[in-house]
Chain A
Amino acid sequence: METLVLSRIQFAANISFHILFPTITIALCWILFYFKFRYSLSREPVYMRAYRFWVKLFALTFALGVVSGITMSFQFGTNWPGYMETVGNIAGPLLGYEVLTAFFLEATFLGIMLFGINRVPDKVHTGATLIVAIGTTLSAFWILALNSWMQTPAGHEMRDGVAYPVDWMAIIFNPSFPHRLIHMLLASGLTAAFFVAGISAYRILKGDNKHAPRLALHTGVLLAAILIPIQAFVGDQHGLNTLQHQPEKIAAIEAIWHTEEGAPLVLFALPNAETQHNDFAIEIPRVASLILTHDWNGELLGLNEFAGDHPPVAPVFWGFRIMVGVAVLMWLISWTASAFILRKKTLPTWLLKTLVASTFIGWVATLAGWYVTEFGRQPWLVTGILRTADAVTPIAPENVGLSLTLYLVLYAGLLVAYIHTLRVMARKAVEVEEYDMSEPASVGRAAQRREEEVPA
């Protein structure tokens, strides 16, 4: 294989593996702050127990995110020198601000958050948790600003084939940035919510009768139930924004080969790039036009308008359908479970098992969504400025093959170890949980009584 193909696979492998962990930790840190803040207000030990369990899982997940993220800062140089040479003036400062404002903040206060609970006053510890949450979110802010600029560049000028900044506000708040940032933060919220609910359900199924896993289960389920309709709305807005700025991506998502008015919504099809036609299509007439233009007869541009310059259809088309399908599942599961919780009924075993099975459901939707948007930008690395093929390194394919193999072996091993260790930690928590807290005895007993009253 050639260096270009191998480098693309390597970048996709690195970034896909990396994004798994921040997607959990960005929102999980806010959930931890919620537990810690509620504890600071009420002094109810159950919040502290929930915090103490989840902070361990957070630390493990965060460590995986940190180390897989360091890889990313080297990738541009090792495999994509053309990227820095062409748009380094824009990408450099955005990445720099991520390091300066986010990485140091989260890394330093993480130490206090994880190891400092007995060394600093309670308020300072709660503050450290908040600062780490802000740090992870700021990190998402900068990296999505850069990614969005690559999708919809603005605020720059080209001189001798190199991009120069003109207006930094226009660069950061480029047309697709607000939609993409909110969409990603909500995706993180949903991923973390199902992660928390799934592992809590696992503990309950293993016979954990304590209050803390139920509290976490309810928090996760209700959070997911609240976020999913918001995400559907934001996703729709994001789609409209894409139609305006990257119509070729929408044409690929909807598999519209030829410009038409009143375009049908393709539910299922095998897009055929050779015949420029959808095989075995199942369509609902006019609905794609209705969704995207809010008009039954609205005109949608087809791929024929972008001959040679449009993304490959199949991965974009399928990625989008997987994302939406998984979102529908998430909606069903979270609302069903919420119905039981809001009526103060015990969650039945089948529902708990469903939640366990959906522990990592957010990963599927997040990855599918990112594949849609990143494949959807091809053949461009930076829309209209730099083609992916022109940015790749001249390094011999053997070397890239070697590094790719190393990464894949490492990542496969780590993913197995991660999931296995989560299970070990959940099981350990069923048997032992921290009761060794310096709580006033009366509060402890009151909480104990409440624990017995709370239904599963």
Chain B
Amino acid sequence: MDTILPVVFVALMGLAILVYAVLDGYDLGVGILMPNGDAHRADRDRMVASIGPFWDANETWLVLAVGLLLIAFPAAYSQILHHFYLPVTLMLGGLILRGVAFDFRTKASVSFQPLWEHLFKLGSLITALCQGWMLGRYIVAFDQSMLSYGFAVLSSLGVAAAYAYIGACWLIFKTEGDLQRRAVRWARWAGRCSFAGVILVSATNPLVNPGVFARWFDFPLVMFVLLIPFSCFLLFVLNELLLQRMPRAQDRFSWLPFVACIGIFLLCFSGIAFSFFPDIVPGELTVWEAASATESLQFIFYGAVIVVPTILAYTGYAYWVFRGKATKLEYH
């Protein structure tokens, strides 16, 4: 139990981070893509309507991921957040702004509504950039060199592009007509930027981290693990070919680009997890060194076994209730 539980919890935390990146990724992406100007008011309303019923629950996965880090690996929680003091603060500012702008943009007095529209977009962008920055800093094990900081800049742009990519694909899935056609254009643009970002990050990661290099190019395994980046690149290309032919008659396959994005996110995540496991703070702490008391892990484990499937079930129910195209903003 003592050696298994930390692995179970790191897997659960990984799941929470991945689900968060996909779910909040698409709604942050929709926020980043919001077009400015009076002419696009109706588009903005529809874009917000497509994420309205979901964003709150999507953000809860972040709280769960941080919660699991705090519960299961308190030592890692303190160390990681110590390194991320300012980016976390800035990200929280971004999350606060976009979360409230969601309501204020329709409820505030007319003269303030454009301000909240801008803040919605800005908050989404800040959140994505900060998360990308933290990912980049984590990958280089908080190294202080100029090169590493450059890498973090690259990573923050890459994450923002990836969120815009999955957000655009979500819009292709949930909207129709003119907006859908624009979403296809956004998706192709954001897809190419994400592709460039993923390639640069994958190439730099083994170069700046000797440990990671050794792990990826360990000979007999290399054939197998290289399938991860290979499938990821293949998915990017296939999705681009698919997007070139979008939208199709009778809206066929409008869900497929979004699913392809989920695949890309899953593969990128697996690549990062493979690079670092079992370290939870790269080069500093393993999951076993950072784990909290077995009694505590057991207590939360029994609850999680019952509650997590329940959460997944009613999340599925909510997506089923709001299936189909988001046509107009049905506020309450």
Q: Given the known A-B contacts A85-B74, A96-B71, A118-B330, are A70 and B92 also in contact in the complex, defined by CB atoms under 8 Å?
A: yes
In the complex, A78 Cα to B87 Cα: how many Å?
11
User: Contacts of B108 on A, CB cut-off 8 Å?
Assistant: 417, 420-421, 424
Given contacts A74-B66, A118-B330, contact A93 B299 (CB under 8 A): yes
Do A85 and B100 contact each other (CB < 8 Å), given the known contacts A114-B332, A117-B332, A421-B109? no
Contact B89 A403 (CB under 8 A): yes
Whether the Cβ atoms of A104 and B78 lie closer than 8 Å is no
How distant is the Cα of A417 from the Cα of B252 in the complex, in angstroms?
44
Given known contacts A112-B53, A393-B82, A424 and B100 CB-to-CB distance under 8 angstroms? no
Please, what's the 1-or-0 string for A323-349, where 1 marks a CB less than 8 Å from any CB in chain B?
000000000000000000000000000
A168 contacts partner chain B, Cβ-Cβ < 8 Å: yes
Is A116 an interface residue, CB under 8 A from the partner? Answer: yes
Pairwise interchain contact A88-B292, C-beta atoms closer than 8 A? yes
Contact, CB under 8 Å: B100 / A67: yes
Q: Is the CB of B318 within 8 A of A74?
A: no
Grouping DSSP codes into helix (H, G, I), strand (E, B) and loop, the A interface class, with mixed when no group exceeds half, is helix
With A84-B78, A92-B300 as known contacts, state yes or no: A111 contacts B52, CB within 8 Å. yes
- Residues of chain B from 30 to 81 with CB closer than 8 A to chain A in the complex: 52-54, 56-57, 59-60, 62-64, 66-68, 70-72, 74-75, 77-78, 80-81
Interface presence of A158 (CB below 8 A): no
Q: Does A178 contact B (CB under 8 A)?
A: no
Given contacts A111-B54, A116-B322, whether A66 and B99 have CB atoms under 8 Å apart is yes
| Contact across chains for A60 and B103 when beta carbons are under 8 A apart | yes
Give 1 or 0 for each of B10-45: 1 = CB within 8 Å of chain A CB.
000000000000000000000000000000000000
In the complex, whether A123 has a CB less than 8 A from a CB of chain B is: no
Q: Flag the segment in A37-45, A51-59, A191-199, A246-254 that touches B.
A: A51-59
**A284 close to chain B: CB less than 8 A:** no
**Is B311 a contact partner of A100 (Cβ separation < 8 A)?**
yes
Bound complex: CA A403 to CA B93 (Å) = 10
> What residue of chain B has the Cβ atom nearest to residue A60's Cβ?
B103
Q: Does B147 contact A (CB under 8 A)?
A: no
B10 CB, nearest partner CB in chain A, Å: 15
Choice from B82, B102, B307, B315 contacting A108 with Cβ under 8 Å: B315
Known: A56-B332, A99-B64, A168-B299. A107 touches B56 (CB 8 A): yes
- CA gap between A6 and B217 in the complex, in Å: 48
- Please tell me if A410 contacts chain B, counting CB pairs below 8 Å: yes
Q: Output the nearest chain A residue to B101 by Cβ-Cβ distance.
A: A63
Find chain A residues with CB under 8 A from B77 CB. Answer: 76-77, 84, 88
B238 CB-CB contact with A under 8 Å: no
Expressed in whole angstroms, the minimum distance between the Cβ of B53 and any Cβ of chain A is 3
Name the CB-closest residue of A to B61.
Answer: A104
Contact pattern, A 61-92, Cβ under 8 Å of B = 1, otherwise 0: 00110111111011011100100110011101
Q: Mark B89-109, 1 if CB is under 8 A from A, else 0.
A: 110110111011011100111
- CB-CB contacts of B286-317 with A at 8 A, as 1s and 0s? 00000011011001100110011001001100
Among A88, A109, A119, A417, contact of B322 (Cβ-Cβ < 8 Å): A119
Q: Give Cα distance in the complex from A70 to B63, angstroms.
A: 7
> A122 CB to closest chain B CB, in angstroms?
14
Q: Closest A-chain residue to B316, C-beta based?
A: A108
- Name the interface size band of chain B: 35 or more
Whether A67 pairs with B85 at a CB distance below 8 angstroms is no
**Nearest Cβ distance between residue B218 and chain A, in whole angstroms?**
34
- Chain A: minimal CB distance from B239 (Å): 28
Most chain A beta-carbon neighbours within 10 Å: one of B70, B93, B102, B104: B70
Q: Which of A74, A95, A107, A110 contacts B92 (CB 8 A)?
A: A74
Give the residues in chain B near A67, CB-CB below 8 Å: 95-96, 99-100
Which chain B residue lies CB-closest to A10? B89
Whether the pair A55, B104 counts as a contact (CB closer than 8 A) is no
Tell whether, in the assembled complex, residue A417 and residue B99 are in contact, meaning their CB atoms are under 8 Å apart: no
List residues 99-143 of chain B with CB under 8 A from any CB of chain A.
Answer: 99-100, 102-104, 107-109, 112
Q: How far is the CA of A67 from the CA of B292 in the complex (A)?
A: 28
Contact with A along B178-222 (1 / 0, CB 8 A): 000000000000000000000000000000000000000000000
Residues of chain B within 8 A (CB-CB) of A420 are 108-109
The smallest beta-carbon distance between A142 and chain B, in angstroms, is: 11
Pairwise interchain contact A395-B85, C-beta atoms closer than 8 A? yes
CB neighbours (8 Å) of A110 from chain B are 56-57
- Residues in B with CB closer than 8 Å to A66 are 56, 59, 99
- Decide if B8 is an interface residue (CB 8 Å cutoff): no
Q: Which chain A residues lie closer than 8 Å to B60 at the CB level?
A: 99, 103-104, 107
On chain B, the residues within 8 Å of A97 by CB distance are 300, 303
A424 to B103, CA, bound (A): 13
Alpha-carbon distance A165/B93, docked complex (angstroms): 35
A contact residues around B223 at 8 Å (CB): none
Residue pair A104, B107 in contact (C-beta under 8 Å): no
Residue numbers in A under 8 Å from B85 (CB-CB): 78, 393, 395, 399, 403
Q: How many Å lie between the Cα of A4 and that of B194 in the bound state?
A: 42
Which A residues are within 8 Å of any B CB, using their own CB? 52, 55-56, 59-60, 63-64, 66-71, 73-74, 76-78, 81, 84-85, 88-90, 92-93, 95-97, 99-101, 103-105, 107-112, 114-120, 162, 164-166, 168, 393-395, 399, 402-403, 406-407, 410, 414, 417, 420-421, 424-425
- Please give me the 7 A-B residue pairs with the lowest Cβ-Cβ distance, nearest first: A77-B81, A111-B53, A88-B74, A92-B71, A81-B78, A67-B99, A107-B57
| 9 interchain pairs, CB-CB under 8 A | A78-B84, A81-B82, A84-B70, A93-B71, A99-B67, A101-B303, A105-B314, A164-B295, A394-B82
